[in-house]
Structure 1
Amino acid sequence: MQPLAPGSLRILHLSDTHLTGDGALHQGSTDTTAALDAVLASAEGVPDVGLVVVSGDVSEDGTPASYTRLRERVGGWAERHAAALVTVPGNHDLREGFRQVLANGHVLGEGGRPLAHTLEYLPPSVPVSGQSVVAGRRVVTVDTSVPGSGYGLIADEALDRLRRALSDGEPSDGGSVVVLHHPPLPAPTALHEALRLRNAEAFADAIRGTDVRLVLGGHHHHHSAGSIAGVPVLVAPGVANDTDVVGAYDEESAHIDAGYLVVDLAADGSVWSSPVRVPRPDTDPLAFHLGADAVTRIIDAAG
């Protein structure tokens, strides 16, 4: 891979690891710990990473043990590579377990150094939020999860925190990066559309005209790119599996495949991104398939 340009921040962007505390298979088909290990092994060849991002659905079961797996594996990778580590909850995560191990999601700072956190208890009703500075960029995390539901929503409290974070002091020289789980982009399937971010326009209003240079998300288990309020939005491939985006819209299928993004944010605010596939040829290529009736039942249950 090309050398990092002077003044740029290189980000290793992972998403949807769906780790389990007991090692149970995701959707009965995927060993997500093994998939994560394969992704991290592939990323060993990526030079000059300054920030590692995991944009939600860290866990499948919300157990502290699952978050500890993430902290040990991804945190260990980041520490070895002297990179910061930031993560955010998704719809499969449970805030209590997340906070117990990962605090506010800003786990490691510049150089891979652990960050100090207060021991204040926050109930699960309070969204997880945080910010840190990496290579002159302000990194802000926004919790789009809704306890007990699969769709995304940025609560008024979280929107207020985002606005305050972006207006706190002078705009950062390198701009800001916002990390969330549910991307403010069109969804590739009917199921993901039902589980979309429901107030994307409010998010757009919060970042419009600010120093935000990049939005990173996940949830779709497939790489895509777009923009909102004039800001690039990059969706990482899933670590757990890869959504079949060319299948029937009202059905849902995924392949056993994994990937990640390598993203460079340049000094002038321009963005370069490259997706990397990490295939697993030793497994059945189909992770799961849901027919239209099953998808409809899931959508109805999700509200």
Structure 2
Amino acid sequence: MEPIYFIHLTDTHIISPRKGFLFNVDVITKLHLIFDAVKELSIKPQFVVISGDLTHDGDVEDYQFLKELLNEKSSELGIPVFTALGNHDSREVFREGYLSEEPTAEPYYYEKMIGELRLIVLDSQIPGRVGGHIDKGQLDWLASILQTPAPAGTILMFHHPILPTISPRTTLLLNREELATIIEDSDVIGILTGHIHYNSIGEFHGITSLTGAGTGFGFDPTTKDSIRVLDNSGFNFIMVKDRRMMVSPMSIPSTHKEMFRLPIEVSRKISS
């Protein structure tokens, strides 16, 4: 079986250009630079995934702009882009602005076959909260889907991480052990998440779990009394071969310098 290559992005935090910059950060240019870097790769990926926080508390205009931007990049690369929702997203507004559907508060989850690889996207959002949880309806659906293995295996994608990191503030998926009982001994070979704005890789019940760096800006995982926001931007180039997921973190030119800090009160709220 030939290797399957794809790109993992996360935490784009896009806002409409009419609104200016987010925290004085040009997140739109950062995303353009990411796609420029992908275009220059000698190995062409077969698809792109984005694991949530597509916009920053966005409205319909923000999602419409993001859709136009991603459609443009998808056309340029000749490959599809698949998205998940994060805590800064709105299910209703996403459906109206990005999907051009009637707005509903139902979780956004689905499966896609890309060649012999299966991608399953889940919705870990708890509306109005920073933390994450995957509801019983999705877990039951996932268990049913996984009864039939995919030839190259299955990749899961959702927003909230499932493994602790070196940061004392990591907000983990609340019911990760419920998820574990479903994916153990299944064909799941990798899990993709976001939320924390830096790369973190480990194993969850024997399955490779990747939390990606944000495309718009980064966080310093070592600060204890604040959130230190950095001029970082990156993505992950992923290869699936022999039913294993292998990850190459990549970055675009950035200063890696501190842009600002959020005080401890905000940090505690974000970590709650």
1:185 corresponds to 2:163: yes
1:271 corresponds to 2:245: yes
1:55 corresponds to 2:51: yes
Is 1:14–1:54's contact at 8 Å kept on the other side of the alignment? yes
Is 2:124–2:160's contact at 8 Å kept on the other side of the alignment? yes
Write out per-residue CA displacement over residues 249-291 of structure 1, whole angstroms, 9 at most, x where no aligned residue: 232112011000000011x11222111111334xx93232123
- Structure 2 gaps, min length 5: none
Separation in 2, partners of 1:265, 1:229: 19
Q: Structure 1 133/58 Cα, relative in aligned 2: closer, same or farther at 3 Å? A: same
SS at match of 1:77: helix
> For 1:187-266, what aligned pairs fall within 5 Å after superposition?
187-191=165-169, 193=170, 195-246=171-222, 248-266=223-241
Partner letter of residue 254 of structure 1?
V
Supply the RMSD in Å over aligned alpha carbons.
Answer: 2.0
> For 1:33-52, what aligned pairs fall within 5 Å after superposition?
33-46=28-41, 47-52=43-48
Is 2:126–2:132's contact at 8 Å kept on the other side of the alignment? yes
Separation in 2, partners of 1:280, 1:207: 37
- Structure 1 gaps, min length 5: 1-5, 104-116
Partner letter of residue 104 of structure 2?
P
Is 1:175–1:269's contact at 8 Å kept on the other side of the alignment? yes
Separation in 2, partners of 1:234, 1:62: 26
Cα distance, 1:297 vs. partner? 4.8
Partner letter of residue 200 of structure 1?
R
Is 1:189–1:252's contact at 8 Å kept on the other side of the alignment? no
Partner letter of residue 206 of structure 1?
I
SS at match of 1:57: coil
Q: Structure 1 288/160 Cα, relative in aligned 2: closer, same or farther at 3 Å? A: farther
Partner letter of residue 296 of structure 1?
R
1:153 corresponds to 2:133: yes
User: Out of 18, 23, 26, which is 2:13 matched to?
Assistant: 18
Kindly, what percent of the aligned residue pairs are identical?
A: 26
Separation in 2, partners of 1:298, 1:270: 34
Cα distance, 1:145 vs. partner? 0.7
Q: Which moved more, 1:287-296 or 1:137-146?
A: 287-296
Separation in 2, partners of 1:73, 1:82: 14
Q: Which residue of 2 aligns with 1:175?
A: 153
Is 1:188–1:249's contact at 8 Å kept on the other side of the alignment? no
Q: Which residue of 2 aligns with 1:95?
A: 91
Is 1:189–1:245's contact at 8 Å kept on the other side of the alignment? yes
TM-score by length of 1: 0.83
Equivalenced residues, count: 270
Q: Structure 1 173/252 Cα, relative in aligned 2: closer, same or farther at 3 Å? A: same
Partner letter of residue 123 of structure 1?
T
Separation in 2, partners of 1:179, 1:298: 22
SS at match of 1:91: coil
TM-score by length of 2: 0.92
Partner letter of residue 265 of structure 1?
V
